[in-house]
Structures are given as structure tokens and as C-alpha cells.
Amino acid sequence: MKNIPQKAKILLIKLRSIGDVVYNTAVYSPLKRRFPDAHLTVVVERPSYDLVCDHPDVDDVLCFEKGSFWKQVKFYSRLMREGYDVAIDMHEGTRGAVMCFLTYASIRIGHKFAKRSFLYNTKLDFSDLKPKFPIDYQAALIKTMGVHFDHVEPSIYISESARHQARDLLTKNGIQNGYKYCVIHPGTKKVYDQWQYEKFSRLAEIIPKKYGVKVVLTCGPDEKTQVERVTKLVNSSEVVCIQTGLQELGAITQGASFVVCHNGGYMHLASAMGAPVIALFGVVHPGVWKPLGQRDQVVYKNIECSPCYDHTRKPECYEGDAECKRVIEVDDILKAVERLRL
């Protein structure tokens, strides 16, 4: 690999989902410690912007938006004229490789086995580092650049304004400063991985009586319908619903006694914020994708058809009635709460 200048303009590309970007934040500070005078720009998709916009080691954030042709033209035009010295593709898909190439950076870094790896001029193989979890893959590529990691863990920064807004939202919903609450996040992008709404509602009603904490139902941008279906089934003054942005959601999550959610982007965010997570797994095996917090709990029933794939999934799964989630009972979640020893 060519020597990277200390004052290099570095572009780091990480598209896809919120969970992927949460893990990717683990490399920002180590990279900046190795190259303290470098200018670090991160490319993410619009839904992930709030995860990285306030990070102290990120100098600039570029948002890629799939929907608009003219926004893409503007994006690629800027990419080509910025004059990056180093472009690092951590997306490993066609789009990331094309972005990397179009920077015309003198050092274009990617994995040697990635799609369209011919668009890189520096192809790295980190199989000898034996990465175990997805977050380890994020770090492994950067380690090959001579970057040292004391710990490999996400680093999410929440702005003070977002913290104040989160506090105001909690107060308006009857949760005063110092009052204990938990978060239940019932949404998922995958209908075939949905735990039944009736069970979420029963859980929400039991928790305040059993543990003396209020319940905050939350949702992501595209999960409003799902949380509303749970809310309509709940009959308790101790359960509130808060819909807000990602930064405020992170602040609310950080203050929670524990979180109950599906496997997915929010699960990784909650774990990164330090909240004890009780994660419901079904179509995906938790061995690789489980949350990494020391107190995090996984609820998973190892039935014959799980994990599953598009070609093995049953028709009823697409109707929100997957067996792998149906066999998880409310008592399974309550037992996980007990293990947290609140």
C-alpha cells in the first residue's frame, strides 16, 4: 500500500442499513488517532445521517439518496471534484466500488473479494485476522492500514439539543427526570420477522405492574403503523408512545432500564447506547448478529426452519405469522428481564 499522507483527505463509504453504520462508527476515532491531521468524510444513506452527524472525529458527511436522479447527479459531481487522497469502500457492493472509483483518489481501498474489486487499486485481505462478528469486519479492513484499536466498539454521539428534546418528550408523557422506564420497540422492516402485536401489548401492560417502570413504545421512520397497532391494544396509563428522530430516540434509549426489540438496526443502536437489550430473534440466527453488550439478552427458539432464506420461507411468514416468532411467549421475555436483575 502507498503511504497515506498525514493531512490526507479521506473518504469512508458505508451504505446500507442503520445497523451497519452503527458498527462502522467503531473505526472513526481509531482512524483519526492514526491520522490526526486528516480530513475525514463519511458517506452514508439518508436514514443513517443522524448517527454520524455529531461525531467529533467526522469532519463532513455526504448523504447518498437513492430516490432522486438529480440528487444523485449532484452527489457524484461533488464526489469527483473534492480531490480525495484516499477512498475506503466498506460497503463491498457495486455502488460502493463505483463511488470509490469515481473519487479518482490515488489510493482506493477495498476488500479483494468484494464485488467489482477491480475498481480498487489497493485490495486488502484480512482473513488472517479471523473476524468473528460484523463489527470485527469493519475494524479488520482499517487495521490493515496500520490503525490500532484499543477496543472495537461503536461510538454514537448524541447532540445536547437532541438530549434536551428527548427529556422534554419524556416529561410531556409523564416520565419525570429520575423516573425509571423501559423501551419497547415493536417495529421491524421484515413482516416475516414480526412478533405478534397482541404479545407486545400484553408485555407492555405486565411490565409496569411487575417491575414498577413505565413503558415507552417507540418506532422508526417507517414503523409508525406497527407501533400504532400495539398502542391500540394496550389499556394502561403506564404505557406511552413516542415517535421521534434517530438522535432523540438514541437519547431516550440511553436512559432506559432495558429495551425489548427485534433483531435489526435499532437493536444495534440500543446496544451501542449502553441500554441492556432483550432481542427477539427468529429468521436470523443470533450467533453472528446478536447484540454485543455484556448484559444483552437474546430470546430465540431454535426450531427446524430457522434460520431461513427467501427460497425456504413459508407463505404464512409473509402474513406476519412466522412460527419462529410465534413460539416466543411473553413469559420468555419476562424471564430475560429477570436475568437482568434490575
Spatial separation of the C-alpha atoms in residues 144 and 139, rounded to whole Å? 9
Lowest mean pLDDT among 49-63, 139-153, 245-259: 139-153
CA nearest to 161, candidates 26, 50, 276: 50
Task: Please provide the DSSP assignment of 231-288 as one string.
Answer: HHH---TTEEEEE--HHHHHHHHHT-S-EEEESSHHHHHHHHTT--EEEE-SSS-HHH
pLDDT at position 108 is: 92
Task: Please provide the DSSP assignment of 75-91 as one string.
Answer: HHHHHHHS--SEEEE-S
Q: Is the pLDDT of residue 233 over 90?
A: yes
Band (pLDDT 50/70/90 cuts) for residue 116 is confident
pLDDT at position 342 is: 66
Name which residue leads in pLDDT, 191 or 166: 166
H-helix or E-strand spanning residue 52 = helix 49-52
For residues 285 and 303, the answer to whether their CB atoms sit within 8 Å is no
Q: Give the pLDDT confidence of 237-266 residue by residue, as tens digits.
A: 999 999 999 999 999 999 999 999 999 999
- Greatest extent of the chain over all pairs of C-alpha atoms, in Å: 63
Q: Give the pLDDT confidence of 173-215 residue by residue, as tens digits.
A: 999 988 999 999 999 888 899 999 999 999 999 999 999 999 9
For residues 17 and 103, the answer to whether their CB atoms sit within 8 Å is no
- Domains of the chain: residue spans and CATH: 9-143 (3.40.50.2000), 161-340 (3.40.50.2000)
Band (pLDDT 50/70/90 cuts) for residue 132 is confident
- At 128, phi and psi to the nearest 5? -70, -15
User: Which amino acid, residue 99?
Assistant: M
pLDDT at position 1 is: 65
Cell matching residue 310:
427467501
Spatial separation of the C-alpha atoms in residues 166 and 256, rounded to whole Å? 12
